[in-house]
Chains A and B, each alone.
Chain A
């Protein structure tokens, strides 16, 4: 039987940290700097070394003895329900290391211990890919599992959820805790069981969806204290009390930057579809009407802010349209809005760049990362306008029942921690929004990646030509090449250019996702050429083929800089893993989008003159300009995310008459 107080625990989650403003925000940022201070890493390192020194003691234990000691530790953790006693944690990690060795055949390196310590301390551990993050998370999860508080390990996809859980479960069993996983398509019953385990592997999508369903069940009264009081008073029960989750406490998020930053504002929507003939008709009609609008005559574009500005002629035309049709179109504002959306869809939403079409449906491609985001949809109207443009069936606007962005959701965890290969660039934002300090864990073996200086070109054409030549050159040496492109269109273009040279290659992009595993498996083999948009397998390694290390390992070519330095680093991180050799180089040009979008006209002009003059400093100047542009874009994006969160919080507070009111 579930006692009322347990129900209380199931409905409980943390009140999110305050979003600071003005001077408070500055102070908070300083606090964040303090929490990221380098001394912390030293402390973690020392702690890991202490554990390492005592490793031999554990080694001597017999199996049954080790198990007994582990159970003892479990009891101690369960009593305090906290994991912040350094001595206890040291002992526990020492024992776990030995247990992992015996049960999984993997003996965690010191850096993995450091990672586990960081996760346990509520940090975002920046660990290079291939450093054994799964095991690191497992170690930290055991500590949390022992406290019997819900511990969720959030990974990227269902495949990894299942794999990691199965992989680690011998360790969990050995330590006396239960583990389970939740993936898409599971029945509520099985989900509940999954979450009931001490450690649960799942994806962000699943856990958020279950959380929202629980909220819906909870009905109007969400606050656990008020629910408990009602229950104890025997008053009419607000909603059913069968929650699927058993509360939120600890989360260990893998690829934390993609979840917490890149997809942060993507809302998860629980919805039922509802026909809206008016919107469907309006979208089709708007596309038809907007066909008569011509650029620079009726409207102008603002590229940086992605806006359409109507000229006088355009406005007159809208007025005319207003007269012609009925209903919605009679209101000039609405009319303008619809046509504007249609024009936006035409001018700024391009197939292969912002979206791809899959199964007669629009799938949005994230512009930051180049990954397809099937869950996403654009705001009401735009989505339909794009569909109308592609002459697809207009999808009915979904009727939202519950909706929450990942950003807001992850603020509910009492103890949030995460791992990723690239987080430094976003450390300020991670602190500001999640109170999550970043700590960079060194690699186990020194990284011998050779980062060649950028090659700079005046025009995109010159750049592409050089890329092809470079691919040819490297290919001739037998080194495998991975070419990263920013968009699907670019990857197809490069593919055709390579085909002209009779080179064999594989293309991995948002519209050819199926063969991902195969292509990745092949990518590290001798002489293999792979073209990939920046989606190529997070969480899976490109393993070097036999003998490839002798050629110098994988060579990565970036054909453009991304909007964030993080994504660049992710691409470069594909090579030279775990101490393997590898090299990388970026090809950039003054025509690149990031330059166009984020630098001012005078800056662009200066760059061009510098490049034309071919002075030696030009490349340096260009590099500096790129850094500046990336900073600017990162800042803009972070600002947008913050604004979304702020608006969410405001709404929550202002509409608390409609139930809820968590923030």
Chain B
């Protein structure tokens, strides 16, 4: 409404002579927020709260049965001339109190109006339930009496002794967790498998029930009443919930925070015990259940409960810590204010906050929470849709309506009809149109260079495998890895004593045959022929052995660079004939073999010749220029090098059955890119890296739409 409400009101006569006062039984508590004092009125019958400024409270507290509103107002004017409210404000305040059922008055309640108000409230609740489809709540019963009766039994645990136990157990459990980290991580892969879902749900139900009782007991312990317990459908998963909102009336913020954190405290404690159970049991139902509880407690705490960006426990804790109640609302107001003030030029708006620092944090919180919310909920929707497509679509529609359609309609209505904009409507509409149009044009028409990356490996175009031709022990590496070699240069020296013996044996045999041949010439000419061929064989054996001995020195077969990075590991080891020990490459010509996944590959085919560049990790600053691209138009599964696969530390998922780790789980396309000669830098054969294809330019919006369609197509065959 107006900037400052007028002192006098035409409707004052309606309330001036009334004897109204606060309902009896209303509890009043004082709270401090950022050094400001507030009064909280609590109606214990309806569990409704109302927060008042001191000035307003001074007024309200003075109302009594034997004084009229006017008398009280005048008194306030005299006592607090500088802050007392105008008549208009008083009327508004009384109306609000009346709507919150906090007033007592002499007229009997208008039953019809009461019913209407009740109906309206019910209506709102039902509507809220369906718009909040991810967290539908169904209240069931009142646990207060149970809590009161059982509090003596658990009460001690909520005190100092409990805290000590909690710390001991959690620290011990943490130690166990660290020790068994790998096993824990390993087991997580099967958490969402169908066989485990039932156990997962059991874990969730147990943890969340205890979580809620944590809130409830702490709240009860500090004197707050807990009247509602029921079932909440968290993403269609029924879990219990309790209404501990009465803690908002607590005077100490630390108590409020403790109640807010109680759920997590309990959850972590239970998870800690579960860690022990898990560690001490063999795989089986108990073991698995314990594991699921750990999983639920940790994931839900990190993603939801402890996270202040969503409206769960963490949010309320933060809100209490910062002493900014209604953080969400305030943040939204701050954003709106910023927009209205600076874009629409509304000058006389009331600032949502006076402190610059607070304004900054509110803005930050507003933006961050919105982004986070969208990410989390999109994730949830996709997750649900993966399993139950229809449900996912319904949820997406509800979210779309709640977050986009309704706010959009409201916004349009605001632009078109809000009295606030009366004088700025032209500017508001124009600036909105320009802004939206600008964003649209920017996304639709301004081309951005398109690029995508693919992993690959750098290889020399000409490379000669060097294998061992004669078996032997690796005696000595004559040429270091990476050095330039000329043809015939000795690379490696193998040692093989057997070959020496063999040579001796062969030569002895040769001698013998020669002797026998001389003998036969003299005595039995008939044996001559066979002996001659035996001699031939013996000669062969000698020369072969000599050749092998020669081959024990492995030599370069061509000029180039000697690449044998893993050779030093093999020193002193036996190398069989034919074992590859390295290669000699031609350093003048390199190529980059990239593996492009299916999603991206059509872009390579559809567009004109893409430009590309290669970056090698460790020399990311330098870019290796690329010449011609050769796309091999066939799906492949065998990676050019195991380095690219998961087992080799690469990013391509490999098939588990392949011990070598060279078979990719998904088919890919191979692209060979010629590395231009004037690379001007040291290139290393076998280094893995990334190729970045730049395929023309295209505006962002069509690209995003394409991505979305691809996503839907791939996941749901839509």
Contact = CB atoms under 8 A, between A and B. Distances in A.
Interface of A: 22, 220-221, 223, 267, 279, 302, 304-305, 327-328, 330-331, 333-334, 336-337, 379-381, 397, 399-403, 600, 639, 643, 650-651, 653-661
A542 B112 CA distance: 52
Contacts, number: 89
Contacts of A220: 106-108
B18 A330 contact: no
Contacts of B82: 330-331
Contacts of A302: 423
Nearest to B422: A305
Given A305-B422, A651-B95, A654-B98, A380 B11 contact: no
A267 B12 CA distance: 14
Interface stretch (B2-10, B198-206, B490-498): B2-10
B18 A657 contact: yes
B4 A333 contact: yes
Contacts of A380: 6-10
B14 interface: yes
Contact of B105 (A333, A379, A403, A658): A658
A561 to B, nearest CB: 23
B20 interface: yes
Nearest to A651: B11
Interface of A is mostly: mixed
22 contacts: A22-B413, A220-B107, A305-B423, A328-B81, A330-B82, A331-B82, A337-B4, A337-B7, A380-B7, A381-B8, A397-B8, A399-B13, A400-B10, A600-B426, A639-B419, A650-B95, A651-B11, A655-B94, A656-B107, A658-B20, A658-B105, A658-B107
Interface string B99-125: 100010111101011000000000000
Contacts of B6: 337, 379-381
B73 to A, nearest CB: 13
A657 B103 contact: yes
A613 B12 CA distance: 57
Top-5 shortest CB links A-B: A654-B95, A400-B13, A380-B8, A657-B105, A220-B107
B81 A401 contact: no
Given A333-B4, A381-B6, A661 B110 contact: yes
Given A337-B6, A379-B6, A403-B13, A657 B81 contact: no
Contacts of B96: 654
Interface residues of B, number: 34
Given A381-B8, A651-B95, A401 B13 contact: yes
B107 A330 contact: no
Contacts of A337: 4, 6-7
B76 to A, nearest CB: 12
Contacts of A655: 11, 14-15, 91, 94-95, 98
Contacts of B99: 654
Contacts of B15: 655, 658
B13 A657 contact: no
A334 B107 contact: no
B7 A651 contact: no
A401 B20 CA distance: 18
B12 A657 contact: no
A381 B86 CA distance: 13
A279 B77 CA distance: 14
A328 B77 CA distance: 9
A379 B2 CA distance: 15
B10 A658 contact: no
Interface in B414-431: 419, 422-423, 426
Contact of B107 (A279, A304, A328, A657): A657
A312 B105 CA distance: 46
Interface in B9-59: 9-15, 18, 20
A337 B6 CA distance: 7
Contacts of B11: 403, 651, 655
Nearest to A650: B95
A456 to B, nearest CB: 26
Contacts of B91: 651, 655
A330 B7 contact: no
Contact of A656 (B7, B9, B110): B110
Given A403-B13, A651-B14, A656 B113 contact: yes
Given A337-B4, A380-B10, A657 B423 contact: no
A218 B423 CA distance: 45
A380 B13 CA distance: 13
A403 B16 CA distance: 14
Nearest to B108: A221
Given A380-B10, A400-B13, A600-B426, A653 B113 contact: yes
A657 B22 CA distance: 12
A112 B12 CA distance: 46
Contacts of B10: 267, 379-380, 400, 403
Contact of A334 (B7, B12, B13, B113): B7
Contacts of B103: 657
Nearest to A332: B82
A650 B88 CA distance: 13
Interface in B219-247: none
B107 A659 contact: yes
A661 B113 contact: yes
A220 B413 CA distance: 39
Given A220-B108, A658-B18, 11 more contacts: A22-B413, A223-B110, A331-B81, A337-B6, A399-B13, A400-B13, A403-B11, A639-B419, A653-B113, A656-B110, A657-B94
A643 B13 contact: no
B56 to A, nearest CB: 16
A200 B422 CA distance: 44
* Most chain B beta-carbon neighbours within 10 Å: one of A279, A336, A397, A651: A651
Contacts of B7: 334, 337, 380-381
Contacts of B95: 650-651, 654-655
Nearest to B18: A658
Nearest to A282: B7
Contacts of A650: 95
B2 to A, nearest CB: 10
Nearest to B17: A658
A264 B106 CA distance: 32
Contacts of B107: 220-221, 656-659
A661 B105 CA distance: 14
A331 B10 CA distance: 21
Nearest to B82: A331
B4 A657 contact: no
Contacts of B422: 305
Contacts of A657: 18, 20, 94, 98, 103, 105, 107
B4 A400 contact: no
Nearest to A341: B6
A399 B98 CA distance: 24
Contacts of B113: 653, 656, 661
Nearest to A401: B13
Contacts of B413: 22
B469 to A, nearest CB: 89
B157 to A, nearest CB: 46
Contacts of A304: 423
Contacts of A223: 110, 112
Interface in B61-98: 81-82, 91, 94-96, 98
A330 B112 contact: no
Contacts of A403: 10-11, 13
Nearest to A25: B417
A171 B106 CA distance: 50
A387 to B, nearest CB: 15
B189 to A, nearest CB: 50
B8 A330 contact: no
Contact of B81 (A279, A330, A639, A643): A330
A377 to B, nearest CB: 10
Nearest to A230: B108
A331 B4 CA distance: 12
B54 to A, nearest CB: 16
